[in-house]
Amino acid sequence: MFDKQKDAFDRFKKRAFKDTDGDFEDGGTVNAVTRKRNRTITFTVLLILAALAFVVWRFTQPPQAPSNVNQDVGFGAIVTDDFTDKDNQSALTFQQDKINQIEQSLARFEGTLSRFGQSLTSELENIKQANERDNASQLTELEQKMQQKLDEVDALKLQLETQ
Task: Note the pLDDT tens digit of each residue in 131-153.
Answer: 999 988 899 999 999 999 999 99
Largest distance between two CA atoms of the chain: 143
pLDDT at 114: 92
**Span 71-88, average pLDDT:** 73
pLDDT at 24: 67
Which pLDDT belongs to residue 71? 67
pLDDT for the residue 80: 75
**Mean pLDDT of the 58-66 span:** 83
pLDDT band at 85 (very low <50, low <70, confident <90, very high): confident
pLDDT at 23 over 80: no
Q: Say which residue, 134 or 73, is predicted with more confidence.
A: 134
Q: What integer best gives the mean pLDDT of the chain? A: 86
Three-class DSSP labels, the chain: CCHHHHHHHHHHHHHHCCCCCCCHHHHHHHHHHHHHHHHHHHHHHHHHHHHHHHHHHHHHCCCCCCCCCCCCCCCCCCCCCCHHHHHHHHHHHHHHHHHHHHHHHHHHHHHHHHHHHHHHHHHHHHHHHHHHHHHHHHHHHHHHHHHHHHHHHHHHHHHHHHC
pLDDT at 159: 86
Question: 46: pLDDT confidence band, cut at 50, 70 and 90?
Answer: very high
The answer to whether residue 43 scores a pLDDT higher than 90 is yes
Evaluate if residue 15 carries a pLDDT over 80: no
> Model pTM?
0.35
